[in-house]
Amino acid sequence: MSNPTNEIDPGTHPGTYNAADYDRPSVTVDVVIFSLSLDDDDLRVLLMKRQQWPHAGQWALPGGFVQLGESLDQSAARQLQTKAGIDSVYLEQLYTFGDVNRDPRTRVLTIAYFALVPMSAVQIRDDEDSHTAWFSIFDLPALAFDHRAIIDYAYTRLRYKLEYTTVGFDLLPDQFTLTELQRAYQIILREKLDKRNFRRKILQANILEETGDMFREGEGRPAKLYRYLDDAMTEVKTRRLFP
């Protein structure tokens, strides 16, 4: 019987794809989870101690193999939920790392993501099945696989995004003072920002609103608490605002 649509029947065409003719590398996702520690002006990353070969006993990024029935974003979100107890946070795909020898088990490609969360949002686990801990990205331990390179790439991306987006707000609590906001930028950019200029520019950007609450620390004057406007402009030239 003729084919009125002139479509090729994949079951009979001599060029039919045969999966057995091709090697199939495994695919994983690894997530760089950043958080700020304002108590000691530090930017930290969440690491897990590996329990099994390879690199047993070494620290690594939370991650795992992608399941056949899930997208890459779904897999990254699953890793966040199951290994750090995190849901509904800022999550962005970074880069694909595919060095031939990056994993001694088999050929593995990993899709790196980064997430930005307040430290209070993470469930630190310390039991026989999982051990997680925060580390300063400026003082990391020896890491499994190529995870040091992944963290370095994620940090570079974070600094770059801070130059033109409001991504830094995702590292802060829902309410924060202008001092806390400035410290967040200074920690990530690793440079001192002029207080008066910072406050003037951030308020002129119209991306914050006062909550009506005050925060008192020590014996000083109480400070106003702010929150980020969800519908505000998200593409903010912060490096132009805060040179």
* pLDDT given for residue 74 in this prediction: 96
Same domain, 26 and 55: yes
Residue 63 lies in a domain: yes
Last residue of a domain, one of 102, 137, 162: 162
Same domain, 154 and 204: no
User: Tokens standing for 25?
Assistant: 């590398």
pLDDT tens for 127-138 read: 766 789 999 999
Mean pLDDT over the full length of the chain: 86
Same domain, 112 and 232: no
Residue 58 lies in a domain: yes
* Distance from C-alpha of 110 to C-alpha of 154, rounded to nearest angstrom: 14
* pLDDT given for residue 170 in this prediction: 84
Answer yes or no: is pLDDT of 53 > 90: yes
* pLDDT given for residue 125 in this prediction: 75
Domain count along the chain: 2
User: Tokens standing for 4?
Assistant: 């009125």
Residue 60 lies in a domain: yes
Same domain, 95 and 209: no
User: Looking at residues 105-124, what average pLDDT do you find?
Assistant: 90
Residue 86 lies in a domain: yes
Answer yes or no: is pLDDT of 174 > 90: no
Same domain, 46 and 142: yes
Q: How confident is the model at residue 151 (pLDDT cuts 50, 70, 90)?
A: very high
Same domain, 126 and 145: yes
* pLDDT given for residue 205 in this prediction: 82
- Contact by Cβ (8 Å): 147, 60: yes
**Domain of 216?**
167-241
Same domain, 49 and 149: yes
What per-residue string of b and e applies to 125-134 under the rule 16 or more CB within 10 Å gives b? eeeeeeebee
Q: Record the pTM.
A: 0.85
pLDDT tens for 60-113 read: 999 999 999 999 999 999 999 998 888 878 899 999 999 999 999 999 999 999
Last residue of a domain, one of 121, 143, 162: 162
- Contact by Cβ (8 Å): 212, 139: no
Same domain, 94 and 203: no
Last residue of a domain, one of 118, 145, 162: 162
- Contact by Cβ (8 Å): 172, 36: yes
User: Looking at residues 151-158, what average pLDDT do you find?
Assistant: 96
Distances (CA, A) of 79 to 11, 86, 131, 146, 153: 38, 9, 15, 18, 20
Same domain, 100 and 156: yes
Same domain, 175 and 146: no
Residue 3 lies in a domain: no
Q: How confident is the model at residue 238 (pLDDT cuts 50, 70, 90)?
A: low
pLDDT tens for 196-231 read: 999 998 888 888 999 988 876 656 678 999 998 876
* pLDDT given for residue 19 in this prediction: 80
User: Looking at residues 51-68, what average pLDDT do you find?
Assistant: 95
User: Looking at residues 5-25, what average pLDDT do you find?
Assistant: 70
Residue 136 lies in a domain: yes
User: Looking at residues 171-178, what average pLDDT do you find?
Assistant: 89
CATH code of the domain covering residue 113: 3.90.79.10
User: Tokens standing for 112?
Assistant: 């790196």
CATH code of the domain covering residue 207: 1.10.10.10
Residue 4 lies in a domain: no
* pLDDT given for residue 236 in this prediction: 57
Same domain, 27 and 123: yes
Same domain, 234 and 177: yes
User: Looking at residues 167-172, what average pLDDT do you find?
Assistant: 84
* Distance from C-alpha of 73 to C-alpha of 145, rounded to nearest angstrom: 22
Residue 75 lies in a domain: yes
* pLDDT given for residue 39 in this prediction: 87
CA atoms within 13 A of residue 237's CA, in its CB half-sphere: 3
